[in-house]
Structure 1
Amino acid sequence: MVIEGVELRAVPPTDPAVLDLTTAQQAELAAMYGADQPLVALHPDVAFTLLAVDGAPVGCVGLQPVAPGLGEIKRMYVVPSARGWGLSRVLLDAVEAAALSSGMTRLRLETGTKQVEAIALYTNHGYRPTPPYPPFENEVASLCYAKDLY
């Protein structure tokens, strides 16, 4: 499926559109999980991909290097008004391509137990459950996944 007007752009984590999107994401998660939401600061080396449709920012995803060959997906988000168009798959494909071009052969991520759409997206995209990794090992609302990239 081709979505007209989609633009992907590499941006720093300080980009105003990324800050707006990640703030909205964190507010949505806080409303969903309340005090059960793990609050994890972004690593300074995270690189973001901004997704815009017809020039309007509607989504983002971060890629954080963790160890040689290992990256972590951070703050993947699509605004509610743009959901259901396949944009999350576009972001996931983009972050996987960025990881591979950076020499990463494995990606991991954390999502929440109440985020059924995200869980379905990741599992349908080849991510498999993995034991929780720090700092999520004691978070009851956290689920961790990983995928080997080829």
Structure 2
Amino acid sequence: MIEDLELRAVPGTDPAVQALAAAQQAELAAVYGDDQPQVALHPDIAFTLLLVAGAAVGCVGLQPITPTLGELKRMYVEPASRGWGLSRVLLDAVESQARTAGLTRLRLETGPHQHQALALYTNHGYTPTPPYPPYETETASLCFAKDL
């Protein structure tokens, strides 16, 4: 277990979330180029920031879609902090947050070349679903959902 781990609720305007989201988008652009869907962040997204020894190393957002449906946004762990199970910590935290908010289903979009993300989500009970707007015509999008 990693010591000095902290999960902190923050807004999408938090500088650490902004930096992590920018790093994620740059990483995705390097993999997918112009074939990556560009979706702006909704202001209602509540972020969870993951800190290790005080340093921000990951984040995940939860966007309410309907009173019972939420969407994961910008789930990311910086490359130097991968392999320690931190993405599972973030996923568990956002699912708990969703349940507390009364959400009964979560959905997400990821890409076919993000093999670690695909493994994480499927191992955590997410199953493929038809693409939802705005991803329904995106060739680089795979959509998943999970009932909580």
Q: Normalising by the residue count of structure 2, what TM-score does the alignment of the two structures yield?
A: 0.99
CA displacement at 1:49 relative to structure 2: 0.1
Q: Does 1:56 align with 2:51?
A: no
Q: Secondary structure at the match of 1:44?
A: coil
| Structure 1 residue 14, shift from structure 2 partner | 0.2
Q: Give distance in 2, aligned partners of 1:19 and 1:88.
A: 18
Partner of 1:89: 88
Partners of 2:122 and 2:134 lie apart in 1 by 22
Structure 1 residue runs of 4+, over 4 Å off? none
Query: SS of the counterpart of 2:146?
Result: strand
TM score, norm. by length of structure 1: 0.98
What amino acid is aligned across from residue 81 of structure 2 in structure 1?
Answer: A
Which residue of the partner structure matches residue 12 of structure 1? 11
Residue of structure 1 in register with 2:23 after alignment: 24
Q: Which runs of 5+ in 1 are unaligned?
A: none
Which runs of no fewer than 5 residues in structure 2 stay unpaired? none
In the TM superposition, what whole-angstrom CA distance separates every residue of 1:119-148 from its partner, at most 9, and x where no partner exists?
Answer: 000000000000000000000110000000
Deviation for aligned residue 1:68 = 1.5
The residue correspondences of 1:74-113 to structure 2 (distance < 5 A) are: 74-113=73-112
SS in 2 for 1:67: coil
Q: Tell me the equivalent position of 2:35.
A: 36
Structure 1 match to 2:126: 127
CA offset at residue 53 of structure 1?
0.3
Instruction: Specify the code of the residue in structure 2 equivalent to 1:23.
Output: A
Q: CA deviation at 1:74?
A: 0.1
Equivalent residue letter for 1:91:
L
Q: Secondary structure at the match of 2:65?
A: strand
What is the alpha-carbon distance in structure 2 between the residues aligned to residue 106 and residue 86 of structure 1? 23
RMSD: 0.4
Separation (CA, whole Å) in 1 of partners of 2:107 and 2:136: 14
Q: 1:17 is aligned with what amino acid?
A: A
